[in-house]
Amino acid sequence: MTAKHHAGHSILETIKTIVYALLIAGVFRTLFFQPFWIPSGSMKETLLIGDFLFVNKMAYGYSYASCPSVRLGFVGIDIDASDICGFLDGDNSRILGSEPERGDVVVFRHPVTGTDFIKRLVGLPGDRIQVKNGVLHINGTAVALQDDGAFQEVMERQGPMGSYPRCENAPVGQGAICKKSRQIETLPGGTEHAILNIGNQGMDHTGVYQVPDGHYFFMGDNRDNSSDSRLPQSAGGVGFVPFENLIGRADRIMFSSAGRSMLFFWTWRSDRFFKGIE
C-alpha cells in the first residue's frame, strides 16, 4: 500500500469513527439521558442558573418529544424533534409510557413554541388548581406551607444571558444582597420543596384551572419569576401540557457554574456537584 493510499485509508477510518460516535451519542440522547443547562431563575432555589443536569428520558416512556432537536444557528442547521419523529405526534400517547408523579421536576416541550422548559408538576389530570393570595390550592385545599427564612444571592449578572435577579428587598445596588422570602411547600403525596416569593404579584391570584385528561399543570419554584401553566398559551404562557410533550424527569445536578461560561473554573459551585433534585 502506498503512502497516499495509507493516508486516504486513515482519513476514511477517522470519518467513520466520528460518524459512529455521533450515531451512538444520538441514540443515547434519544433513549436514555438528555443534557440540560438551566438558563433562567424560574426554579430557584431548587435549580440555579448554570446548573447542568441530565434528564432521565426513561422515566415516562417515549414520544415524538423524546427525539432531540438540533439547532446550530451559526451553520444554518435547525432540525426540530417533530421533523425527526413527527410521525409519533398527534394522539397524546407514549411508548412504554409511565405516569409522572406530582412534585416531579420535569423537562417538557412548550405546546406552542417547542422550546424546552423545566418546571415542577403540581397538577394532575382532573385536578382543580388555583392560587389564592400566593398559596397553591389543589382540589379546593391549600397546600401546607412553612416559613423558612430568606433566600439570598448577590445582585449581579447571572449566566450567559447576564440577567439580574429580582429581589423582595428592591431596590438593590450592584454587589448588594438580594433577598426573597422562602417557604417549604408540601404537596399532596408528601413532596417537600422550597418556594420563593418576591411580593404580591398578579399570578398570586388566579381563577380555577381544571386540568384536562391527558394534560398536566406546571409551576416554577421561584413563584414570582416564572412563566408557567398559570398563564394560558394565548397570553404567551405555558398553559396545560399534553402527556406526549414530556421529555423526562430531572433527578440530579451533575455540575454547576455561577459564571458566564462553564470554563470560568473560579465560579464553579462544587457543593452542587451530583446534588439530588427534590
Per-residue pLDDT of the chain (278 residues; tens, 9 = 90+): 555 454 455 555 555 454 434 444 444 444 467 889 999 999 999 999 999 999 999 999 999 888 877 766 666 677 777 777 777 777 898 988 899 999 999 999 999 999 999 999 999 999 999 999 999 999 999 999 999 999 999 999 998 888 899 999 999 999 999 999 999 999 999 999 999 999 999 999 999 999 999 999 999 999 999 999 999 998 889 999 999 999 999 999 999 998 877 778 888 999 999 999 98
Strands 241-242 and 215-219: antiparallel
Pick the CATH number of 32-276 from 3.40.50.300, 3.40.50.720, 3.30.2040.10, 2.10.109.10: 2.10.109.10
For 60, 127, 195, 243, the CA distances from 192, given in Å and listed in that order, are 21, 19, 10, 24
What are residue 7's phi and psi, to 5 degrees? -65, -40
At 254, list the grid cell: 451533575
Calculate the dihedral angle through the C-alpha atoms of 207, 210, 214, 219, rounding to the nearest 10 degrees. Answer: 30
Domain boundaries, the chain: 32-276
User: What are 157's three cell numbers?
Assistant: 449578572
Which residues form the catalytic set? Answer: 42, 119
Asked if residues 258 and 148 have their Cβ atoms less than 8 Å apart, the reply is: no
